[in-house]
Structure 1
């Protein structure tokens, strides 16, 4: 096998060349045969380069005077011409040879007969010559003599190449051994019988560290381990011996030595034919890394808890402030309503104030739940462009003549599945923010891009999509860098007192996240801001609303039907039963879902409907409704909830839902509607 690219003409130690030739056992015999066959008195093997001629081995019966290692000036030899031409030179009688009779070399060295054959390695690299001289003429230019020299030259070249390869292989093996032995990672090789056939020092040292004794070549490696670890080790070794390359994290070692965790890479060991003759593994003790990762996770969790507490503190303060304002209005209005002499006009005004304040409180709660991603969304499939156009028309009306509303890309067919009401609210919240930033004048651009990618936002990885990208760009003052990172925090606002609650952008953030998307912001002070809302884009399809949205019919009265009220809160339960009785229903009140199922019995006879809270100890309202849909499908169920993480994640799936705070007419309207629907529905 040749070694392409070897350059034996490069400067090196000629002593090595001499030793390489002299290490060939047949060289003395070759030189002896050359002299006996040709009748010549001097024969040599020379290493010839561009500027050197060195005798590697010599047979001298004519006292020519050269010994191994001696040199001739290259310019005084014919071998330099042979090196250049790569062909042999054969002279029977110099005086009679027209090409060499006047050549200076024969005269300088006093020979009349000469033969020199180039020695080439199997890859064609020129090494030197096999040459012979004698002061007397000789018959050399015959096929037998030339063939003999060619054979000997090829034989010498083959041996030099083979010896060089053996030396290189040994050197490589020594290099590999040095590398492996000096490697800090434990490395060991094993055969099909799981016996150790090689290992480095680190392997033995580490094995001793975690087991208390050393390994030896020939050991069945799994048998050295404690039983439960032996099973794992044998299985891992078997996988590698079957041809699999893989990495595993396992615990090896004895309990008294700490049993560290190792990351071990297994690799099959193959021969030149590609056959698996064993396998080897390389191990790393990752116990320290795992401890550090655990400590980091604990530190991060501690930080998150601290941040949560801080956020809770901010939320508590903000909620308390806003709700106290609302409760002040309600309490003051109720105090006036208790006066028996209150004029009807003022009574109406205070009743309206209470009702409006309750609506404001419900809206505030909804914004908080949107930020917390706890509101119950009612997703439906809709085309984004028409909704954007409708919102743009509305904004163009309410923002005033000084703000120009521009749209772009709204004709792009683009569908999403989201709560359309929350989507519109998010757009309005961003638009209001933009309007305030422009101080009443500028351009507001609404743009839609379909099939967009979700870029990395606030340290979170992006996604390929497709996403609908809805952006609102203003030409306002921009966002200051020192507040840029806080704009989505609840109750954080840079507006004057009374100008904003700081919950608008929180609603946008919560709606985007709960809808499977995100919201990004880019801003340059003095030039403007762009908010981009990303929502997952889907194919157009008909998708009915999952929530049965029932409207009020205005204090519809019951007719003595019995309603099972399920409510764990005493005050709410008492008030709900009072409302229902005032609406003309009979009621039975239980404190939990389990008691409700027991009260309804196997057929629910005697009850026209079930009115249940969602969040209760034990079985919740959703689970109760699903159980009743299965057991008593004829019995209508209404759920009431201020919030529910289950509803937020799953939705009520067709169950009638009444949002707290609810009014008497809303409760009466929903009950009247579903009872009528069930009573008129066809049987079976």
Structure 2
């Protein structure tokens, strides 16, 4: 105890307080309390102030560095501070009862550390500690057992652990366990357990010993379960020999006996060498194979490199692999052995470093197993798989070819029959009109069919642009009302923020319409159809393909239809595959959707539950909004109402198409010059640079292609508009950023006229 009294808080204390003062003892009595404890005044000053203010304080386990012998120390203290009242009732000082709690604090800290250490030792131990009562009922086990077996907490209690065993091992395990419980002898039994993570059974070894009271009665059993699967498969046996070799590397005779006992009955090639490549041990199989190849039988003490001196390539290869193991590396390699004149054997070689009891490297160990048949089986399997893939590919090609032939023959039948009737001179005007409309409609259907095929193959020429999805989904929903019918109720769910993508707007709308039509048919024309948009997410892994971090926009089409059977989910995107009745679907709608998504840098995911509905989610890369909203707007109404004849350079290598195109343009009131290839077109332009108002060029031509021609003209004549046309171009399919107006074949006169008006109007707008 101590008393700090008076204005200067003079220090008085009892004998028990003297050791606390340490080196301060000689100058502490009657001195101001602040001077005595100047070294810790910052820590205790708040306590002193509070006590002098009339407050009683109790503190437990307060850390203080008293430095009693003049050096820093860790110590903890408990304090009880009370105001000391003088005879007038005023606070004239403070009284404190204190005691050191360092031993208890450190003891509790050590206990916590010990408990944490024990917990980690148990939980991180690959073995499974367990206990049971004298009757054999399991009372505790580590979480490792639950992780291995997949059993739930509490399930292994009592005899529940037996459920994790292989059925064939239960009787023997129970017999051994019961015998040990009865006799008190240690438990030692091997059994297989079902491993939840892999679904396989692995061999385990369970061992336990009893804990007894003073009279010898068993109080409980303490045991561990360890994985010995590799030992059961002979791999652990190898490690045991390796450990034995490490302990007895200097006892060569004992090593040879051990190796003979363990390995002379195996077909594996076993050998060990010291750092100088001298053989420490070889088994019979290794010696027989070596003698068969090199004509000399190796024995312990021989230099492996000397034995191979007549075969420099083999000696260098042996030095290379053994040196890795001698340097401390453990690895597996595949090598061939045997007489080159006959069948060679393939071996899997496992190299391990040998160490003595002190951990020093004393050599290396090789264990080689014949894997010839396994490798040949793998080669045969690979060839069979390749043949299967080829057959599946040919089947898919056949299915695609058959589907294309079937649909195009149907379309050609309509065109051919209509043309035959149109040739009749006495055909009524009404029927002539009907046949002309049939031909026009059939051409449109053929164009859609080729577009869908190119979309599936990701070879369609795209016209990408940046547009906002929330607004576009509302626009598509208005169109879908006419497609889906009155009994389909549409819901649009979009986020509050804008979400932009760069894609072909027409192809995007076509994809949504295809999905909506499928949803309508799946719901038999009645139910809720939801268009849902989520932005900024990642692209998940789909159909075995890796995902991407994003950001991606996810457009989902959700229906309440019959769903798709699980067995069909992998086939629904195949061209011409359909679950609809004959005549009610081409089987190309979903092919267009996935082709468009893939070519646009995204993908399509489908989830379905039979009887509950299906969700198709179209993922497209999200992009930043365009820099300005009006920079691409080109006024064209004046040009459309004030048309004049243009001079158009037609570049087309196909004679029939070239004649048709020039005739079409002339019928529209334009003048034409026809160049049969890009080289001739360049010459025409250079001959009279300001002659032409526009260039109308095919893309696929011999020599310089249409895209290359357009890019040359952009450099040499930047004011000359170029319109490209193609039925298919691999160049445009791979590069959607060509930057030129595109008219897809087959085109109509109106499409060509509209394209000409557009490019000329943009040129005039740029000039203005």
Matched, 1:443 2:531: no
Following superposition of structure 1 onto structure 2, how do residues 143-292 of structure 1 map, counting pairs within 5 Å?
A: 184-190=267-273, 197-207=280-290, 214-215=297-298, 217-220=302-305, 223=308, 234-237=319-322, 240=325, 244-248=329-333, 255-258=340-343, 264-266=349-351, 279-283=364-368, 286-292=371-377
Distance 1:413 1:563, change over 3 A: closer
Equivalent-residue separation in structure 2 for 1:431 and 1:223 (angstroms): 75
Contact 1:640 1:658 in 2 (8 A): yes
| SS across alignment from 2:304 | coil
Following superposition of structure 1 onto structure 2, how do residues 529-678 of structure 1 map, counting pairs within 5 Å?
A: 529-535=613-619, 537-538=621-622, 540=624, 542=626, 560=647, 562-565=649-652, 567=653, 571-572=656-657, 575-576=660-661, 583-590=670-677, 596=678, 600=682, 613-615=698-700, 639-651=724-736, 653-667=738-752, 670=755
Aligned match of 1:322: 407
Deviations 1:13-55 (A, max 9, x none): xxxxxxxxxxxxxxxxxxxxxxxxxxxxxxxxxxxxxxxxxxx
Equivalent-residue separation in structure 2 for 1:242 and 1:261 (angstroms): 25
Distance 1:214 1:472, change over 3 A: farther
Aligned match of 1:88: none
Matched, 1:405 2:501: no
Matched, 1:355 2:440: yes
Equivalent-residue separation in structure 2 for 1:601 and 1:487 (angstroms): 51
| SS across alignment from 1:375 | coil
| SS across alignment from 2:341 | helix
Aligned match of 1:503: 588
Deviation at 1:363, TM superposition (A): 1.0
Equivalent-residue separation in structure 1 for 2:297 and 2:289 (angstroms): 9
Equivalent-residue separation in structure 2 for 1:619 and 1:358 (angstroms): 30
Deviations 1:271-294 (A, max 9, x none): 677666655555555554444344
Equivalent-residue separation in structure 2 for 1:167 and 1:244 (angstroms): 19
Which segments of 5 or more consecutive residues in structure 1 lack a partner in the other structure? 1-164, 591-595
Equivalent-residue separation in structure 2 for 1:406 and 1:636 (angstroms): 43
Aligned match of 2:449: 364
| SS across alignment from 1:585 | strand
Deviation at 1:437, TM superposition (A): 1.9
Out of 276, 294, 298, the residue aligned to residue 383 of structure 2 is 298
Aligned match of 1:390: 475
Larger radius of gyration: 1
Out of 408, 411, 422, the residue aligned to residue 507 of structure 2 is 422
Equivalent-residue separation in structure 2 for 1:635 and 1:230 (angstroms): 74
Contact 1:229 1:252 in 2 (8 A): no
Deviation at 1:441, TM superposition (A): 1.8
Deviations 1:325-356 (A, max 9, x none): 33344344444555667787776665544333
Which deviates the most, 602-611 or 486-495? 602-611
Equivalent-residue separation in structure 2 for 1:538 and 1:329 (angstroms): 44
Distance 1:346 1:510, change over 3 A: same
Following superposition of structure 1 onto structure 2, how do residues 96-135 of structure 1 map, counting pairs within 5 Å?
A: none
Deviation at 1:362, TM superposition (A): 1.0
The alignment's TM-score, normalised by the length of structure 1, stands at: 0.59
Contact 2:675 2:681 in 1 (8 A): no
Out of 502, 519, 528, the residue aligned to residue 612 of structure 2 is 528
Contact 1:465 1:536 in 2 (8 A): no
Which deviates the most, 238-247 or 653-662? 238-247
Out of 555, 563, 573, the residue aligned to residue 488 of structure 1 is 573
Equivalent-residue separation in structure 1 for 2:288 and 2:442 (angstroms): 77
Which segments of 5 or more consecutive residues in structure 2 lack a partner in the other structure? 1-246
| SS across alignment from 1:220 | helix
Equivalent-residue separation in structure 2 for 1:241 and 1:542 (angstroms): 64
Distance 1:672 1:468, change over 3 A: closer
Contact 2:648 2:695 in 1 (8 A): no
Deviations 1:519-575 (A, max 9, x none): 3444444x3321332525546454999xx999998898875564443x3x5544554
Equivalent-residue separation in structure 2 for 1:621 and 1:435 (angstroms): 42
Distance 1:252 1:230, change over 3 A: farther
Equivalent-residue separation in structure 1 for 2:454 and 2:522 (angstroms): 26
Equivalent-residue separation in structure 1 for 2:712 and 2:273 (angstroms): 60
Contact 2:305 2:315 in 1 (8 A): no
| SS across alignment from 2:396 | helix
Structure number with greater CO (CA < 8 Å, separation at least 6) is 1
Deviation at 1:218, TM superposition (A): 0.8
Deviation at 1:364, TM superposition (A): 1.4
Deviation at 1:603, TM superposition (A): 9.8
Equivalent-residue separation in structure 1 for 2:502 and 2:556 (angstroms): 18
Deviations 1:583-642 (A, max 9, x none): 42212214xxxxx55985799655767766555678766677678878998887654432
Equivalent-residue separation in structure 2 for 1:250 and 1:635 (angstroms): 68
Equivalent-residue separation in structure 2 for 1:247 and 1:415 (angstroms): 52
Equivalent-residue separation in structure 1 for 2:538 and 2:702 (angstroms): 43
Equivalent-residue separation in structure 2 for 1:424 and 1:384 (angstroms): 11
| SS across alignment from 2:556 | strand
The alignment's TM-score, normalised by the length of structure 2, stands at: 0.53
Deviation at 1:209, TM superposition (A): 6.2
Equivalent-residue separation in structure 2 for 1:584 and 1:564 (angstroms): 14
Deviation at 1:436, TM superposition (A): 1.5
Distance 1:238 1:364, change over 3 A: same
Deviation at 1:301, TM superposition (A): 3.2
